[in-house]
Structures are given as C-alpha cells and as structure tokens.
Structure 1
C-alpha cells in the first residue's frame, strides 16, 4: 500500500468509526483493523488519536484556505470575489461533511495545543473573509451598520449548521444549496438592506 493510500485509509476508517461509535470509544486497534494497516504504519503518520482527529479537519482547513487565497488573488471585483468564496466554502464543507461532522462533535476532546491550533487557523480564515467585506464596505456596496464580526458569524453559523440537516441524498445539489445560502447572505449584506426594511 502506497504512503498516501495508508494515510487516506486510516483517515477514512477513523471518520467512519468516530461517526458511528464516537471518538472516545474508538480504539487505535479498531482503526488499524478497519483500515487494513498495522499500528506501526498508522503511527508513522499519526502519533495518536489526537493527531488523527486534528488531521481529519486540518485537511479541510488547508483546502479552504488555499482556495480562498486563489480566489482573492484572481483579481475579481469585490462582490464577485465574496460570492465565489462563499460558494466555495459551502461546497467544500459539503464535500467534507462527514469529516466536519465528526470533528465538531469531538473537537472538545483535542489537546489544548491542538484546540488552539484549530482556533488560530479558523481565525485566520475568518479574518481574510472579513477583509473582503471590509473592502466592500469601503466601496459602499456592503452595509456598515452591523459589526463585521457579526456578519461573519452570521454566515459561518449557516455553514457549520449544514451537518444538522443537509444530506447528499436529498433533492438539492450542493451547488444549488451553496448558491441559495450565498444569495441569502449577500442580500442581507447589501448596502440597500437597511433601506428595504424601512
């Protein structure tokens, strides 16, 4: 089995087991048996279950961070940039829905060091996301009567809630869901939103 296959097999087995029987009650032995590898092979890549749980979510964090940078660097106008970022973070969250679901259920079991690392990485993404909104506020296209932190939290609460209701087997595709949630957020963000309520 190739090195990348070992890592992928271990992570997939861990996600499946953590989802069905919980992180705390899943043993390393169960993970390696399900993955079809030895403990030595697993420990070559993951020093502990803690490392493995972090790696499951770190893969998504890295992907989304890289995609955000690519979109911002593409030089699109602000409104197109934010739309593309919103759609991307929703679609990638759906692509990694099992991993995200497992992680958010078990994040409190990570070591303090790992929890701080996750917070730092997520804060960096949120800060970069917020900077796009700030740019739109300076341009006069986004409302400025609500703190940016609230606007960011509003969007990501919808993203993090996906695992509670979205099913790939449902009638709506990930693309349609991403477009709908993005449209709702961008409508609420528009500089014209307060005027429409009066």
Structure 2
C-alpha cells in the first residue's frame, strides 16, 4: 500500500509525477532510478507499477499532461466564434504561456524523449502532429480568406512558431525581465506580422 509522504493527502499518481518531474529536472532521466522516485514520493515500488508500468510511462505522462492541456485549449480557440486572426493569435500566445508554466515538463521531455520505447515515441509524435495540424488549419483558413499572406507555406509557418516554443526551455528564466505573457505576446505578434499581407 502507498503511504502519504508528508501528510498532504495528494493522490499517489500526482505525488509520483511530481517526484519524477523534480528528479528528472535535477538529475536527468537516465540518472534517476525507480527507487529514487518512489523514495521521493513516499510510496512503494508496487504503487508506482500499479499506476505506471515503467519509468518511461512516467516520462510519457509528464509530457502527455501538458500536450493534452494545450490540445484542449487549441481546440477551444479554433472553434471560437471570432475572426481567424484573433483565434490564431490567441492560440499562438497560449502555447507559449502553457509551455513556460510547465517548463520543467517540456524541458525534460525534449531532453529525454529518445529514452521512450518505439511505441510510445510513435504515439507522442502522432499526438504532436494532431496539435500541429489543428494549428496549421487556422493558418490555412486565414490564407484562404486572404487575411494572411500565402507567401509562406503553412507547414513552414507552423515549424517557425513551434521552433521558438520548443527553444523556450533553453533560455527562458522565471526571474528574467519578461513575464510568460509578455514573451507570449511578443512571439505571437512576430508570427502575425509575418502572416499579414
């Protein structure tokens, strides 16, 4: 049976994910053992294997929870009753904010995704492709409507923006001069300026 680590009453899966995220960020995925994780979470190995089949399942879930949040939010922006320029701008800013708010998760994942099993790696790629395709559909909608220039292929526009997003883990610091929203607004505005005719 899992026991509470500190009496905080958090569910075991949340404690395991929090411990794994902290340890992977501090020591790296490959230098963190299952024993390190269960000790930090205050549970048994049996509890870990009950909720997560392996250490690579934890890594997959760390990134998956961020991607699910971002997908839900993108779907809401895309379906909103608003001009396409506004919907794309809000979606472009939101992915920056949510990435910064979950910076450890995204940083860990991009540094460690090569440790995933081939099956999980393929699954993550499919999930990310679905997100990028929904984002690209907004770009294409604006291009068809003449709101955005068609000078740039939509695929390159998506790669341009997400290249910036994926690079946040390298340089962004919470104690830096820009808040997450300011960074998001700047990057979204750069994207919109590129797309305006």
Whether TM-score is above 0.5 comes out as: yes
- Which residue of 1 is the match for residue 187 of structure 2? 181
Q: Determine which of 129, 144, 161 is the counterpart of 2:167.
A: 161
| CA shift in 2, pair 1:59/1:124, >3 Å | same
Matched, 1:38 2:80: no
Alpha-carbon deviation of 1:74?
A: 1.9
Alpha-carbon deviation of 1:123?
A: 0.3
Q: Determine which of 111, 115, 119 is the counterpart of 2:121.
A: 115
| CA shift in 2, pair 1:83/1:35, >3 Å | same
Question: Which stretch has the larger CA shift, 65-74 or 159-168?
Answer: 65-74
Give matches, 1:12-51, under 5 Å. Answer: 12-51=18-57
Secondary structure, counterpart of 1:33 in structure 2 = helix
Q: Determine which of 171, 178, 195 is the counterpart of 1:172.
A: 178
- Which residue of 1 is the match for residue 152 of structure 2? 146
Alpha-carbon distance in structure 2 between the residues aligned to 1:25 and 1:168: 25
Alpha-carbon deviation of 1:4?
A: 5.8
Aligned residues: 191
Alpha-carbon deviation of 1:5?
A: 2.4
- Which residue of 2 is the match for residue 56 of structure 1? 62
- Unmatched 5+ stretches in structure 1: 192-198
What root-mean-square deviation, in Å, do the aligned CA atoms of Structure 1 and Structure 2 show?
1.3
Give matches, 1:48-127, under 5 Å. Answer: 48-127=54-133
Alpha-carbon deviation of 1:3?
A: 8.7
- Which residue of 1 is the match for residue 15 of structure 2? 9
* Deviations 1:68-101, CA, capped at 9 Å, x for gaps: 1111222111001001101111100001100000
